[in-house]
A and B are shown apart, each in its own frame.
Chain A
C-alpha cells in the first residue's frame, strides 16, 4: 500500500540528511507504529507519505515514495487526498471550518463527493467516533479528546485507504487517549484501514501495533513489535520490566506481562518500595512554600477552581493530575499571580504572588509553561542565557551552568527554535532556575519528550527537590508521575478530590495506574527502577 524505495530527505539548511536509504513497505490493513527519539525524523517520514515532504516543506527527496501505486513526485498532496488522510500533531491547528459537521465534510467537499453520499457519510462518521451529541458545536469549544476525534473523523469521512497520524494522544489525558485509540483499532479491524502512527508514549499504543518501525540516525528498520522493542532505543516501562526480568518474548501489553509475572511477584512479596518510606519522612512541619486556602479562581465568568486547600513544602515533588480542562493550569497560573484570586488566598513563601513585582516574583516562584517556547525570545541560546542572568541580576554564566547541567550538548549559537522539545524544555527550566526560586512549577513538561529526555528531566527535578526546592508538576503522564512524585493531587471540576502519597493514589485507580503497577498489582511497585532496586537488594 505504501512503498518507500531508497528514500532520502535533506532540508536545505542542514548538513545531515533527515532520512537516508529508507526502504519500507506497508501492506494494506496493517497498523504500523513509528518510534524514535525526538527529532529523529518521525514527522518527516509521515509527511512523505502524502507528499507534504517535499511539495509543501521544501527540501530534496531522493528515491521514490508510492502510495497505492501513485508516485508522490508526480502527485501533489491534494492529488493524494482521496487515498491518504493525514492528522497532524495539533488537531486544532488543522481545522479549516468552524463546526464539527462542516469539518467532517470539508475533505469530501474538496474531493467532490456527491451531496447525498456526503450527508450519509457524515452521519456514519459521527456515530463511528462518538461525536453525534456535539455535531453542531463550534470546534473551539470542544475538549482536547473531542477535537482529536474530529480531526480523525475529518480525514476518515473522505474514506482514505491510508491514515497517517502524528502523535495522536500526546496532548490527551489517559482516558481521552484510550477513547481515540479504541476508535482507531476499531477502524483497522472493521474497515481494513492501513494506519501509520507515530507516538512517544509507547505504553499507550505498542500493544495495538502489527509492526514497529524504528528510526535511528536517519535510517529505519522494521520488525514485529516484540522483536523491534528488544532493540529499540526507546521502549515503554513494560518492555523495560520484561528486559529486567529476562522475559522472552517481551510482553507488550499488561495482560501478557501479568501472565508471566508470577515468579517475580512471588520474589518480591512482602517487601515495601523505598519510595513509600521516603514520602512519609519528608512530610515535615516546616512552613509550606505554597499554601492555598479555599482558593477560588475565575477565568472570565466561569469559576474554574472552587475552594482548593493545599500545602507544598520544601523538598517535595507533587504531581497535579486531572482530565483536560479540570483546572490544573489555572492553579499553576494563580500560584504565580498571573490570574486574580476571587476568593480565599494563595501564599508563596508567605507572600501574595499577585502583589509582587515581576522581578521580585522570580525569586519566589518559577513557572515553566506548557509551551516552553513562549519564555524564549532571544536569537541564540547564548543570548537567552545572558538575558536570564541580567533579568535576575545573577552572576554572568549562572544560567549557562544550569543548562549544562540539565542538557550538556547545546551549542551557544543555536537558535532556540531549532532545539528539540527536550532541549527547549531544559533551556526554559534553566532560565526559570536562574532566579533560584524555592518553588518550581511545571505545566505538562513531557509533551513531545522521548524516554531519554524524560529520564533526564526526572533526575533534574529530583535533585532540585533534594536541594530543598518544592516542585509542583501538572501532567497527564502517569509514568512520569510514578517516577517523579512523592505526592499526587487529583483535581476534578475545580475541586481537589484526592491528595495522598503517589503510591497509594496511583495504584488505587486503573486510569492513573502506571504499567508496572498494573503488572505487579496488588503489590505497590510503581516503576521499573523500584523493582530493580528491590531485586538487587534481595
Chain B
C-alpha cells in the first residue's frame, strides 16, 4: 500500500465497508433516542455528508429513503390515532367516532379520543425508524451495495448470486411497472384502481423475473463461483463458519440497535460474529481462486470515516445507558424537546467525513474545473470534467428513453 492512499486529499472512492460502518454507527445513534431534535441532527449529518461526498452520476437513493421515512412516521401516527396505541394521555386533541369492540382485545380500540401524548409517542417512534432508514439511504448513496457485494466471499456462492439478482430486481421492477402502466393507456385504460393493478402485476413480475434469469445466466457463464465447489468438505466448513459469523454480526447489530434487549448482549455478539466471519474468510480465501480487480485499499481515511461513525454511535449509546435526560423524551405529560448537548456533539463527529474523506474522482474533477463559487448543476461545458458529466446525464436520459419507449 502506497503512502499516497493515506492522504485524504487524493481523490478516490472510499472502501464501501467504511461508509457502511459509518452509517451503521449513525443508525445506532438514531435507534437509541426518540428526541426529534437529535434525530433531525442525525439525518442532517447523513444528508450533508451525502451531499458533499457522493460520487457524481451514481444513483442517489437517499431521497427515496427520506420519503419512505416520512411515510413511516405518517403511518405510525395514523395507526396510533385510530387504534389507540396504548399510550395513556390526558390532552385530548379531538375524538373520532368509536367502534365498540368485543371485550378482551387488550388495549386495542377502534376510534375514540386522540390524545396529544399518543400522537407524539407514535411520531417520535416513527421518527426514530425514519432516521435509521435515512442512515441506510446515505450508505446506499455513498457506496453502492453492489460494490459492497464484491466482498461477499465466493464460499457463499448461492447467497452472493441471490443478493446481486435481488439488488437488480428491485429497481427493474419499478421501471417495468412504469412502462407497463403507460402501455396500459395505449389500450384505453388509465392504469389506476385495484383491478388494473392486479392485471399489471403479472406482466411486471414476469419481465422482472426474466431479467433476473438473464443476469444469473450471465454470472454463470462468466465463471462466477468456479471451482469453489470442488472440495465439498472444506466448502461446508467455510460456509458454516461464514453463516454463523454473519448471523452473529446481524444479531450483534440488532442488539446494539435495539434498546430493549439486554444491554451488553449486542457488543460481544457483534465481536464474536465478526471474528467468526473473519475466520471463515481466511479459510475460504485460502481456497478461493477468485481475484480482485483494483481492490479498494483500506488506509487512514477509511479508519477516520469508520471511527467517526462509531464515535457518533458510542456517544448516544453511552448517554442512553446512563439515562441522560433528553435522550428518551417524555411524552406524558408532553414537554418541549431540548437538545442534550453532549450526545449532540457526539453525533456531530459523524460529520467529519464531509471534510476528511477523500473526494470521489468525478467530483474532484468537477471541482477542478469549477473552483469555488460556481454552482454545480447550472453551469455547462467549461472543461472536460463538466462536459463528461453533462454528457453523462444526456446519455443516461436517452437510455431511459429506450427503456421507457412505451411511455
Q: Is the pair B203, A118 in contact by a Cβ cutoff of 8 Å? A: no
Interface segment, one of A34-42, A311-319, A332-340, A481-489: A332-340
Assembly CA distance A329 to B400 (angstroms): 11
A431 to B180, CA, bound (A): 16
Interface size on B, residues (CB 8 A): 64
For chain B, residues 164 to 208, give those with C-beta under 8 angstroms from any C-beta of chain A: 164, 179-180, 182-183, 185-190, 199-200, 202-203, 206-207
Interface size on A, as a range, is: 35 or more
Q: Is the CB of A106 within 8 A of B222?
A: yes
User: Would you call B217 and A52 a contact (CB within 8 A)?
Assistant: yes
- Stretch with Cβ within 8 A of B (4 or more), from A3-11, A140-148, A192-200, A453-461: A140-148
Can you name the residue of chain A whose Cβ is closest to the Cβ of B183? A374
Please determine whether B223 and A325 come into contact, CB atoms closer than 8 angstroms: no
Q: Which residues of A contact B190 (CB under 8 A)?
A: 357-358
For the complex, is A371 an interface residue (Cβ under 8 Å from B)?
Answer: yes
Evaluate whether A119 and B293 lie within 8 angstroms (CB atoms) in the complex, with A94-B214, A333-B407, A371-B406 already known: yes
Q: A325 to B185, Cβ gap below 8 A?
A: no
Q: How long is the Cα–Cα vector from A154 to B182 in the complex, in angstroms? A: 34
List residues of chain A with CB within 8 A of the CB of B58: 98, 138
Q: Which residues on the A side are within 8 Å of B147 (C-beta)?
A: 98
Q: Mark B207-219, 1 if CB is under 8 A from A, else 0.
A: 1000100111111
Residues of A within 8 A of B225 (CB): 78, 110
Q: Is B374 an interface residue (CB 8 A)?
A: no
Q: A105 to B293, alpha carbons, bound, how many Å?
A: 6
**What A residues does B214 contact at CB under 8 A?**
88, 90, 93-94
Q: Is B394 part of the contact surface with A, judged by Cβ < 8 Å?
A: yes
B146 touches A97 (CB 8 A): yes
Q: How far is the CB of A204 from chain B (nearest CB, A)?
A: 20
Query: Do B215 and A375 touch across chains, with their CB atoms under 8 A apart?
Result: no
Name B185's contact: one of A113, A301, A338, A435 (CB within 8 Å): A338
* Chain A, 78-115, CB within 8 A of any chain B CB: 78-82, 84-86, 88, 90, 93-98, 101-102, 105-115
User: Is A362's CB under 8 angstroms from B57's CB?
Assistant: no
Q: Does A443 contact B (CB under 8 A)?
A: yes
Q: How far is the CA of A339 from the CA of B405 in the complex (A)?
A: 11
Nearest residue in A to B393 (C-beta to C-beta)? Answer: A302
Known: A56-B220, A88-B214, A374-B183. A118 touches B293 (CB 8 A): yes
| A236: interface (CB < 8 Å) | no
By a CB distance below 8 angstroms, the chain B residues around A371 are 405-406
Residue B321 at the chain A interface, CB threshold 8 Å:
no
Do A109 and B291 form a contact, CB below 8 Å, given A137-B392, A431-B187? Answer: yes
Q: Which residues of B contact A52 (CB under 8 A)?
A: 217, 220-221
Q: Is B373 located at the chain interface by the 8 A CB criterion? A: no
Q: How far is the CA of A105 from the CA of B147 in the complex (A)?
A: 13
Select one of A56, A110, A361 contacting B223, CB under 8 A. A110
Interface flag for B226 (CB, 8 Å) = yes
B294 nearest CB across to chain A (Å): 7
Out of B164, B186, B289, name the residue touching A367 (CB < 8 Å): B186
Give chain B residues whose Cβ lies under 8 Å from the Cβ of A96. 164, 215, 218-219, 222, 224
Q: Are A158 and B203 in contact (CB under 8 A)?
A: no
Structural contact, A111 and B226, CB atoms closer than 8 A? yes
Majority-rule SS of B interface residues? helix
* Residue B144 CB within 8 A of the other chain: yes
A107 with B185: CB separation less than 8 A: no
User: Is A136 on the interface with B (CB-CB < 8 A)?
Assistant: yes
Inter-chain contacts of B186 with A (CB < 8 A):
336, 338, 358, 362, 366-367, 369, 375, 432
Instruction: Assess the A82–B223 pair: CB atoms within 8 A.
Output: yes
Q: Known contacts A110-B290, A112-B291, A154-B222; decide if A374 and B179 are in contact (CB<8 Å).
A: yes
| Set of chain A residues within 8 Å of B291, measured between Cβ atoms | 108-109, 112-115, 118
In the complex, chain B residues whose CB is within 8 Å of the CB of A374: 179-180, 183, 203, 406
Give CA–CA (A141, B64) in the complex, Å. 20
Q: Taking the complex as formed, is A392 at the interface, i.e. its CB lies under 8 A from any CB of chain B? A: yes
Residues facing B in A118-175 (CB within 8 A) are 118-119, 122, 133, 136-138, 140-144, 154-155, 158
Task: Kindly list chain A residues whose C-beta atoms are within 8 Å of the C-beta of B226.
Answer: 78-79, 81, 110-112
Chain A residues contacting B144 (CB-CB under 8 Å) are 98
Contacts A110-B290, A141-B395, A304-B397; A81 near B187 (Cβ below 8 A): no
Could you tell me the distance in whole angstroms from the C-beta of B147 to the nearest C-beta in chain A?
7
Contact mask A308-330 → B, CB, 8 Å, 1/0? 00000000000000001111011
Residue of B nearest to A391 (CB): B188
Q: Is A300's CB within 8 Å of the partner chain B?
A: yes
Contacts of A144 in B (CB 8 A): 399, 402
The answer to whether A93 touches B392, judged by C-beta atoms less than 8 angstroms apart, is: no
Q: How far apart are B18's CB and chain A's nearest CB, in angstroms? A: 18
Closest residue on chain B to residue A138 by CB atoms: B57
Q: Is B89 an interface residue (CB 8 A)?
A: no
Tell me if B292 counts as interface (CB < 8 A to partner A).
Answer: yes
Q: Is there an interface contact between B188 and A392, defined as CB atoms closer than 8 Å?
A: yes
Tell me whether B405 and A369 are in contact (CB under 8 A). Answer: yes
Decide: A391 and B220 in contact? CB cutoff 8 A.
Answer: no
- Whether a CB of chain B sits under 8 angstroms from the CB of A240 is no
Chain A residues near B397: list those with CB within 8 A. Answer: 299-300, 302, 304, 325
Tell whether A271 is near chain B: CB-to-CB under 8 Å: no
CB of A296, distance to nearest CB on chain B (Å): 15
Residue of B nearest to A435 (CB): B188
B333 interface residue, CB < 8 Å from A? no
B368, CB-defined interface residue at 8 Å: no
Give the contacts of B359-403 with A (CB-CB under 8 A).
361-362, 388, 392-402
**Min C-beta distance of A398 to chain B, whole Å:** 14
Q: How far is the CA of A533 from the CA of B206 in the complex (A)?
A: 47
CA distance A300 to B397 in the complex (A): 8
Produce 1/0 per residue, B31-67, CB < 8 A to A: 0000000000000000000000000011100000000
Contact A143 B405 (CB under 8 A): no
Q: Which of B187, B392, B402, B407 contacts A375 (CB 8 A)?
A: B187
Q: Which residues of B contact A109 (CB under 8 A)?
A: 290-293
**In the bound complex, what is the Cα–Cα distance between A349 and B108 (angstroms)?**
60
Q: Contact partner of B188 among A78, A106, A119, A359, CB < 8 A? A: A359
A268 smallest CB distance to B (angstroms): 40
Which residue of chain B lies nearest to A76 when distances are taken between CB atoms in the complex? B220
Closest-CB distance, A226 to chain B (whole angstroms)? 33
Query: Would B401 and A370 count as touching, CB distance under 8 A?
Result: no
| Bound-complex Cα distance A330 to B397 (A) | 11
Across the interface, B405 reaches (CB within 8 A) one of A82, A97, A114, A329, namely A329
Does the CB pair B396–A141 fall under 8 Å?
yes
Q: Are A377 and B293 touching (Cβ within 8 A)?
A: no
**Which B residues touch A17, using CB under 8 A?**
none
Is A444 engaged at the interface, CB distance under 8 Å to the other chain? yes
- Contact among B221, B400, B407 with A81 in the assembled complex (CB-CB below 8 Å): B221
B223 touches A111 (CB 8 A): yes
B295 within 8 A of A: yes
- Determine whether the beta carbon of A143 is less than 8 Å from that of B398: yes
Whether A373 lies near B207 (C-beta < 8 A) is yes
Chain A residue numbers with a CB within 8 Å of B199 are 377
Given the complex, which residues of B lie within 8 Å of A93, measured CB to CB? 211, 214-215, 218
- Contact present for A77 and B221 (CB under 8 Å): yes
B146 touches A110 (CB 8 A): no
Q: Closest residue to A366 on the B side, CB-wise?
A: B186
A143 x B189 contact (CB < 8 A): no
**Which residues of the other chain, B, contact A81 by a CB distance below 8 angstroms?**
221-223, 226
Question: A-B pairs with the 3 shortest C-beta distances?
Answer: A325-B398, A81-B223, A105-B293
Q: Contact residues of B with A, CB < 8 Å?
A: 57-59, 144, 146-147, 164, 179-180, 182-183, 185-190, 199-200, 202-203, 206-207, 211, 214-227, 288-295, 361-362, 388, 392-402, 404-407
Residue contacts A-B, CB under 8 angstroms, 29 given: A50-B221, A76-B220, A81-B221, A81-B223, A84-B221, A86-B221, A97-B146, A105-B293, A106-B222, A106-B293, A108-B293, A109-B290, A112-B226, A115-B292, A133-B388, A137-B57, A141-B395, A143-B395, A154-B222, A325-B399, A330-B401, A333-B405, A358-B187, A358-B188, A362-B186, A369-B183, A370-B402, A374-B180, A388-B187
